[in-house]
A and B are shown apart, each in its own frame.
Chain A
């Protein structure tokens, strides 16, 4: 496992330059009317998809930006060239 990741600013780099930032699930819910369960679900629960998922990465040893890519969790390879959906 030595994946490469495409940073929109720096281009394709070794995966270890980056830090994984979680599944893409949209912004955090509003506070109003929030229940414990909803909050816990947002904070801790994961989809843990087996397949292609959109996810966040941070270019730690690089430009310092957050961006999303698609990666197949069954192969650990970035799926390039797919439009954001």
Chain B
């Protein structure tokens, strides 16, 4: 490991705590608080990866994870950003996209083939002859992609999620962000402060200049950080990457846990009143020939390597920069011991005089109006060529480090995501907001400010403005803050420099996708003139770093091309920035497990019942079978011959009451609900405005203007909404209570159900006092109140018992106990399905579709046409379609071969498809195979022969005959016993 610089006040690594990392099989040492990348750099690693297309060597470039140069495989996780991921003890790190070693990659010959790989080359090759395309496709697939994920990979760690709320959220804890947070917090507002780095400080953090303040900037950063820590209104989240900015100020982010945190990563969703974006700047990459060679890095990268991590980035350095920060960094690094051969500055003037003097004092040659034009060296940097901006004069320098940057570019991603209107500002050369969305503010460097005092002042102003959004009375303070800001230096003129003179083939605009300037021209040459199209065609900015590296340069280069093409009118347009701003693990987004199905009051009982097979049905967990005989013969026969029971607690249950309750029911039910009599149940249906069956259920009258009704399971959640929706214009006076979860429900069915139920109650249950379609409230099992209905869904004498949820288990157990002599057995959804099929009853969603009306399903008799006064939902459509030709009809059918039911979903055909089987089963009760099917009306007549085609049946067919329903007990005698 290289020796680190010592005694730097800005240093964040801990020389006392050594950590081990295993890189490409070798054990290396790093320090606590190193990132993986800085630890590798300290160990002399210079080539971090090979590039996507050309397998070019790539190295440390920005330290902020803006490109794929430093994506590595860490402990089996691909594409880990080594630049921003903290080193942990015993990490196993492997380079990516390498065939061989990073130093010797066997695919690097592709780099020579670039002439054959112009932008979008794959659109033009490989498809002739077409049969070769699959072969090339395979090659392309294998060459593409960076990291490798093992199918057996399982993510370790704890992934949490939190949804904090506050008044103000500040993004970025640099000087502007910290000032903003303090200003808002001082007004008594709750502030959430997010910072991607593990510590606050932003770009003050590693700077030692004290030109404007009396203390070095890094010390100033500490002061502000201390204030943040002391302020109890501020919740500071370090190591937190903002990912999304959604409307009405919803911010998403994820936080990377420290050793001491209980989570590894956590997803955050933050809703606030006002947001301040203070995310500062990045550097705009310098574009010149071979600008991607390892040994070339950005200014802040070099500066932070030394200041934060104690690493001198090279032995012989050249600087080619475009702003004052570059000069400052050169001086500081020189003072720390970095030999600098010269500093080239694209600007011919405008440098801060102090900085130029500083270079002179140190004897560093300073070349105005010069820039780097070519980097040399086959793997890592060996030499650079500098030239004048007109390209006429050249000079070569041997070196191992080139610190290069074309200037600054704002980290304006959050503003783009916030839908701020951004446009190109010719003075700063930045994309700046023309207009900010409501309650969003920007502060600091991303507005083009450079002066430390201005930056802090703009933060304070933003903080106060945010406070004003939240109702704080800060008018005067805002005025003062604005006046102060106006007195301080404003935005700085930005570098207009786009690319070095020359026209080499290997000047990269986008590292991730290996897109060169040449590729951009190729796209433009083809007529892709909109920058968005150029981006798509060339793929610049579509890699893991997204717009990070090419985001600013691409629009400039396209505009440059268009200017030379004679079109200078076009504005310079940014490409769209999309969330997440920082890629985040699916594990992090997924957060905690979400598998929480709803359970009926009988769930525990069911779980203990031997043989119970559960299925997720909608939001519920229900028992489908109580045996492993999926035909459920025993369950079915028990109901047909003795008595069975099923948990139907999932049925929707509602009370509707009040003077206008009946009106409401008349509106939504197709039947005449005035016919509901006390002590009786009425079965009816609800349609939508197309006349399509939506729901069926029963209604009972429990008192004056007081009704109790049930809905099917799936509609339990939407019935209240439905009834209120369809009555929303009326001033009817009624109330509606959803009692679904208040009652459990058991359907006790079978010829012996009365005998059994009678053993539990003194109430007279005889057929006379409690006949078919009757309703009764009484107590059973001592003192438990039940609501009992005699229904006929399954074709037997049966009682649907609605019991207060907390007592449902008691009753179930009692029935089971008392039912032993009657051979009682629980049955599940599949047995119920067959039992009702034998009766020809429809299950919504199984036998009904949106294109079926009530009539199509043979349920037209439920509709009462005489109540147009009530504007019954669906009635007009029922009128219109009642006698319409050519509709699909629901019919019952019997198979010619009694032992062979078609599988559900089989189709009915002749020369065309004519319908399909909704449900079909072998009926043990009838000794026949029966079913319900949708067929075109001309096949719906009784006696019609149906040709049925299952999947994988080829030219074979099954045959059936349309028969009347119900199949079982057509007169319904068994219901009424």
Contacts and interface: CB of A to CB of B under 8 A. Distances in A.
Judge A-B direct contact (beta carbons within 8 Å).
Answer: yes
8 contacts: A1-B247, A4-B271, A19-B721, A31-B875, A39-B876, A58-B721, A58-B725, A76-B247
B478 interface: no
Nearest to A59: B721
B470 to A, nearest CB: 14
B756 to A, nearest CB: 39
Nearest to B252: A2
B876 A31 contact: yes
Nearest to A22: B725
A1 B244 CA distance: 10
Contacts, number: 53
A64 B880 contact: no
B114 interface: no
A3 B724 contact: no
Interface in B868-909: 868, 871, 875-877, 879-880
B425 to A, nearest CB: 24
A25 to B, nearest CB: 11
Given A14-B271, A56-B728, 14 more contacts: A1-B247, A3-B248, A4-B271, A27-B729, A28-B689, A28-B871, A32-B868, A34-B876, A42-B689, A58-B721, A58-B724, A60-B721, A64-B721, A66-B725
Contacts of B720: 64
A36 interface: yes
B657 to A, nearest CB: 16
Interface in B836-888: 868, 871, 875-877, 879-880
A21 interface: yes
A67 to B, nearest CB: 9
Interface in A56-75: 56, 58, 60, 64-66, 75
A43 interface: yes
A77 interface: yes
Contact of A64 (B724, B868, B875, B879): B724
A73 B877 CA distance: 31
Nearest to A35: B880
A2 B721 CA distance: 22
Given A64-B721, A66-B725, A4 B868 contact: no
A47 B204 CA distance: 55
B689 A2 contact: no
A78 to B, nearest CB: 8
Nearest to A31: B868
A64 B738 CA distance: 10
B133 interface: no
A62 to B, nearest CB: 12
Nearest to B871: A28
B64 interface: no
B248 A2 contact: yes
A34 B876 CA distance: 8
Contacts of A65: 724
B852 to A, nearest CB: 16
Contacts of B879: 31
Contacts of A56: 725, 728
Nearest to B722: A58
A59 to B, nearest CB: 9
B248 A43 contact: no
Given A21-B725, A31-B871, A43 B247 contact: no
Nearest to A65: B724
A79 B900 CA distance: 62
State which size class the interface on A falls in.
20 to 34
Nearest to B873: A28
B950 interface: no
Interface in A36-62: 36, 39, 42-43, 56, 58, 60
B725 A2 contact: no
B246 A1 contact: yes
Interface string B398-425: 0000000000000000000001000000
Contacts of B760: none
A27 B689 CA distance: 13
Given A3-B247, A39-B877, A66 B728 contact: yes
Contacts of B721: 19, 58, 60, 64
A41 to B, nearest CB: 12
Interface of A: 1-4, 14-15, 19, 21, 26-28, 30-32, 34, 36, 39, 42-43, 56, 58, 60, 64-66, 75-77
Nearest to A30: B871
Contacts of A31: 868, 871, 875-876, 879
Contacts of B419: 75
B818 interface: no
Contacts of B729: 26-27
A69 to B, nearest CB: 13
Given A31-B876, A34-B876, A77 B247 contact: yes
Contacts of B690: 43
B613 interface: no
B250 interface: yes
B576 to A, nearest CB: 15
Contacts of A64: 720-721, 724
Contacts of A42: 689
Contacts of A36: 880
Contacts of B250: 2
Contacts of A19: 721
A17 B227 CA distance: 38
Contacts of A27: 729
Nearest to A77: B247
A43 B246 CA distance: 33
A64 B740 CA distance: 15
A27 to B, nearest CB: 4
A42 B875 CA distance: 13
A30 B880 CA distance: 14
Interface string B667-705: 000000000000000000000011000000000000000
Contacts of B868: 31-32
A55 to B, nearest CB: 12
Contacts of B871: 28, 30-31
Contacts of B728: 56, 66
A39 B880 contact: yes
B269 to A, nearest CB: 9
Given A31-B871, A31-B875, A4 B248 contact: yes
Interface centre among B728, B729, B876 (most CB of A within 10 A): B876
Nearest to B438: A77
Nearest to A29: B876
Contacts of A2: 246-248, 250
Nearest to A27: B729
Nearest to B244: A2
A83 to B, nearest CB: 19
Contacts of A28: 689, 871
A66 B876 contact: no
B726 to A, nearest CB: 9
Contacts of B248: 2-4, 15, 77
A31 B868 CA distance: 7
Interface string B709-731: 00000000000110011001100
B877 A43 contact: yes
A56 B690 CA distance: 20
B679 to A, nearest CB: 30
Contacts of A75: 247, 419
A58 B725 CA distance: 8
Nearest to B868: A31
A4 to B, nearest CB: 4
Contacts of B725: 21, 56, 58, 66
A2 B269 CA distance: 11
A36 B720 CA distance: 29
A5 to B, nearest CB: 9
Interface string B924-945: 0000000000000000000000
Contacts of A30: 871
Given A4-B248, A27-B729, A28-B871, A43 B689 contact: yes
For the complex of A and B, 9 pairs with smallest distance between CB atoms: A2-B246, A2-B250, A27-B729, A4-B248, A43-B689, A31-B868, A66-B728, A39-B876, A58-B721
